Amino acid sequence: MRTRFQQQMEDLREKLLRMGGLAELAVDRACQAYSERDLTRCQLVLENESLINAAEREIDEMAFDILATQQPAAIDLRFILAVTKINADLERVGDQAVNIAERVMDLIELPAVDLPVDIGRMATAVSAMVRRALESFVEGKAELAQAVLEMDHVVDRMRDEAFIMLVRKMNEEPQVTQQALDALLVARNLERVADHATNISEDVIFWVLGADVRHHAQAASAAPRPERREP
């Protein structure tokens, strides 16, 4: 039944996954560029930004088309809505990766200093969050999405710690203020990426369970579903 519709939904899903892959890659690249002070990687991130933006437009158009012509209902409708939101979040993730790359390009110009903040560890955590959020979308599993929501607290704490440590460093050694500031900004960008990963997870939960868990509303009130549905 409705094979054309199923096909369109499948295409939409694939497109979103591919875009997710691009966004994840951009963040990873930007973070690697930071730890290795690698200019080439920064430039790659900047170049590939247009791909992510193009994908966003394509996905929005496709979702809009399906909504208009197929009148999806229930879980299919939730899926389309979730896709459009995840779409927007992934594009922002791409933007943040670009921001990080720009900070790194700035840092490369300046002399290297030792900073009391482990951006690498933060980057790993954030990257894991993005990956798991995308996984929960692929698998349609609310539990995976829920796990991402919990990791957000950890990343928030990391950013707060980084802030305190870097401010102290700036007070103690004013000559490294620029580098410290750049690092602070990178930390903040990573925290934003984590937020977007959280949003993506909330959207997955909405799609799978029909529960609106944004702004920390509980997912427990949603009716238990007998089994997960594939779009």
Partner 1 sequence: MGVGITVEHLNAFYGKTQALFDVNITVLANRATALIGPSGCGKSTFIRCLNRMHETIPEARVDGRVHIGDLNVYNGTSATQLRRRVGMVFQKPNPFPTMSIYDNVAAGLKLNGFRNRKKLDEVVHKSLHSAALWDEVKDSLHKKSGASLSGGQQQRLCIARALAVQPEVLLMDEPCSALDPISTGKIEELIFQLKEQYTIVIVTHNMQQAARVAEFTGFFLLGKMIEFDKTEKIFTNPSDKKTEDYVTGRFG
66 C-beta neighbours (distance < 10 Å), count: 21
Rg (Cα) of the chain, in Å, rounded? 19
Residue 76 is a binding residue for partner 1 (CB under 8 A): yes
Runs of H (alpha helix) within the chain: 3-36, 39-70, 74-109, 119-139, 142-172, 177-209
| Interatomic CA distance for residues 157 and 106, integer angstroms | 26
Taking phi over 0 as left and psi of -120 to 50 as alpha, with beta for the rest, 216 belongs to left
Q: At closest approach, how far in Å is the CB of 7 from partner 1?
A: 13
**What is the per-residue DSSP string for 161-200?**
HHHHHHHHHHHH-GGGHHHHHHHHHHHHHHHHHHHHHHHH
Alpha carbon 105 to its chain centroid, in Å, reads 22
DSSP structure class, residue 226: S
One symbol per residue from 77 to 106: x for binding partner 1 (CB under 8 A), - otherwise; what is it? Answer: xx----------------------------
One symbol per residue from 190 to 229: x for binding partner 1 (CB under 8 A), - otherwise; what is it? Answer: --------------------x------------x--xx-x
Q: At closest approach, how far in Å is the CB of 203 from partner 1?
A: 15
Residue 124 is a binding residue for partner 1 (CB under 8 A): no
Nearer CB in complex with partner 1: 111/226: 226
Figure out which of the listed residues 68, 74, 112, 220 binds partner 1, where binding follows CB under 8 A. 74
Q: Under rule CB under 8 A, how many of the chain's residues touch partner 1?
A: 16
Q: Count Cα atoms within 13 angstroms, Cβ side, for 209.
A: 24
Nearer CB in complex with partner 1: 94/231: 231
Nearer CB in complex with partner 1: 172/227: 227
Nearer CB in complex with partner 1: 26/75: 75
Figure out which of the listed residues 20, 72, 94, 140 binds partner 1, where binding follows CB under 8 A. 72
Pick the piece of the chain touching partner 1 (CB under 8 A) from 35-43, 74-82, 95-103, 137-145: 74-82
DSSP structure class, residue 116: S
By the criterion CB under 8 A, which residues form the site for partner 1?
1-2, 5, 71-78, 210, 223, 226-227, 229
